[in-house]
């Protein structure tokens, strides 16, 4: 490989929340950033700008929007205009701007569980009612959309459906059939789709990411797509993302709401995003191969070596969703911290029905992942 993803980098001196929240002997496999160096093209672009020495207020560059436009066309077969792109400080801010722009107090907002935790706060932040539509599970534990159940979850008061695709924490990449079913129901009920596609570039060989807005002009006209280079290229701390909105009316509403409540993007974050999308493709291709190998290692290890733990093989992201129900552990996250010295996200963070689950971040060097898994195995065998 051209890039060394096996390199063990000390992140404890880098202001990392992932590495500094817990004691030094705890191996952190939780927060969804990776332990890999960002692409050289990103680092060199930042160094060049830093060498200038002045960091005043900035203006969004046309080349940044062009880089996003070309990336979406090449990687996802999605043709958009640069005018459709709005740079925002973060995807979570995009959730809240969307809710405030297109709903009124007393309206309803629909999410699917298990869900990325900030989804649960959006309804409260916008004084709307939260509707939860759990994903269904196949016999092998993988998650899917139940079309009939989804449609029944939409009420006359529902204004916004918050989709997460690829799905965090389950690692599902929703199929075209699933996406068409959800989008069709939203069209029928006049519901805006807010699609979190932050993991869209982290999809493995057996599946393909389909932006829901790319399915048709009608679906695009009701969709706000939120994306970023942050998860893919490990630049989350630089706080720059994008919203893609092809409907001019919805776009104007979004911009007006954003201008009233959210600041501009980070100067260095915009530079890093542009460099990643312009020159990061070969780095990403190698990263995906490495992550897929880690994914396979994790899946095989869970199946063979972690008694009572089950997981379906994620199709995307660098996150494993581990079901610890059969271990009998009351709080698996606390158990693995206390007994294995491995930090994982607790399942309750993704919904009140998921207390028996943990989320494991395998976006790290193989040696580090294997060390964590061996610790977990030893703790389970000794409990």
Task: Please give the structure tokens belonging to residue 104.
Answer: 């009124």
pTM more than 0.85: yes
Task: Please give the structure tokens belonging to residue 182.
Answer: 């959800």
pLDDT tens for 271-323 read 999 999 999 999 999 999 999 999 999 999 999 999 999 999 999 999 999 99
Pairing of strands 158-164, 192-196: parallel
pLDDT at 158: 98
Instruction: Give the residue from 256, 321, 263 showing the smallest Cα distance to 115.
Output: 321
Domains annotated for the chain, with CATH where assigned, are: 17-31+281-382 (3.90.1150.10), 44-279 (3.40.640.10)
pLDDT tens for 338-358 read 999 999 999 999 999 999 999
pLDDT at 157: 96
Cβ–Cβ under 8 Å, residues 316 and 207: yes
| β-strand partners of 360 | 320
Interatomic CA distance for residues 249 and 267, integer angstroms: 28
pLDDT tens for 75-125 read 999 999 999 999 999 999 999 999 999 999 999 999 999 999 999 999 999
**Neighbour count for residue 189 (Cβ, 10 Å):** 15
Interatomic CA distance for residues 78 and 180, integer angstroms: 16
- The confidence band for 383, taking pLDDT boundaries of 50, 70 and 90, is confident
pLDDT tens for 18-77 read 999 999 999 999 999 999 999 999 999 999 999 999 999 999 999 999 999 999 999 999
Average pLDDT, the chain: 97
pLDDT at 1: 84
Min mean pLDDT across 132-146, 211-225, 283-297 is at: 132-146
Cβ–Cβ under 8 Å, residues 129 and 107: yes
pLDDT at 36: 98
Considering Cα of 96, then 97, then 98, then 103, what sign does the dihedral take? positive
């Amino acid at each position: 490989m051209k890039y060394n993803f096996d390199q063990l980098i000390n992140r404890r001196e880098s202001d990392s929340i992932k590495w500094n929240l817990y004691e030094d002997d705890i191996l952190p496999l939780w927060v969804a950033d990776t332990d890999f160096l960002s692409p050289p093209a990103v680092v060199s672009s930042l160094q060049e700008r830093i060498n200038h020495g002045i960091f005043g207020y900035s203006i969004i560059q046309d080349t940044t929007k062009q880089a996003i436009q070309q990336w979406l066309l090449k990687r996802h077969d999605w043709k958009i205009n640069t005018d459709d792109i709005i740079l925002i400080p973060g995807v979570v801010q995009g959730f809240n701007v969307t809710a405030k722009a297109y709903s009124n107090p007393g309206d309803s907002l629909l999410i699917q569980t298990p869900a990325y935790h900030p989804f649960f706060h959006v309804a409260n932040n916008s004084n709307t009612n939260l509707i939860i539509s759990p994903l269904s599970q196949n016999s092998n534990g993988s998650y899917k959309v139940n079309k009939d159940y989804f449609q029944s979850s939409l009420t006359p008061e529902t204004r916004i459906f918050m989709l997460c695709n690829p799905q965090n924490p389950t690692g599902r990449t929703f199929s075209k059939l699933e996406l068409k079913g959800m989008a069709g129901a939203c069209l029928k009920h006049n519901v805006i789709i807010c699609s979190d596609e932050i993991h869209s570039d982290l999809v493995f060989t057996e599946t393909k990411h389909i932006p829901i807005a790319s399915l048709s002009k009608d679906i695009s006209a009701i969709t706000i797509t939120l994306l970023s280079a942050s998860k893919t290229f490990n630049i989350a701390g630089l706080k720059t993302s994008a919203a893609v909105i092809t409907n001019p009316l919805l776009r104007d509403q979004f911009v007006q709401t954003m201008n009233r409540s959210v600041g501009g993007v980070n100067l260095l974050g915009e530079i890093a995003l542009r460099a990643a999308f312009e020159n990061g493709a070969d780095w990403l291709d190698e990263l995906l191969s490495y992550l897929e190998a880690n994914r396979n290692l994790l899946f095989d290890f869970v199946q063979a070596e972690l008694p009572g733990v089950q997981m379906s093989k994620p199709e995307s992201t660098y996150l494993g969703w581990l079901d610890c129900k059969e271990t009998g552990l009351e709080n698996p996250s606390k158990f693995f911290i206390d007994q294995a010295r491995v930090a994982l996200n607790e399942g309750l963070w993704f919904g009140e029905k998921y207390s028996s689950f943990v989320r494991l971040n395998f976006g790290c060097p193989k040696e580090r992942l294997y060390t964590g898994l061996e610790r977990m195995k030893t703790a389970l065998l000794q409990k």
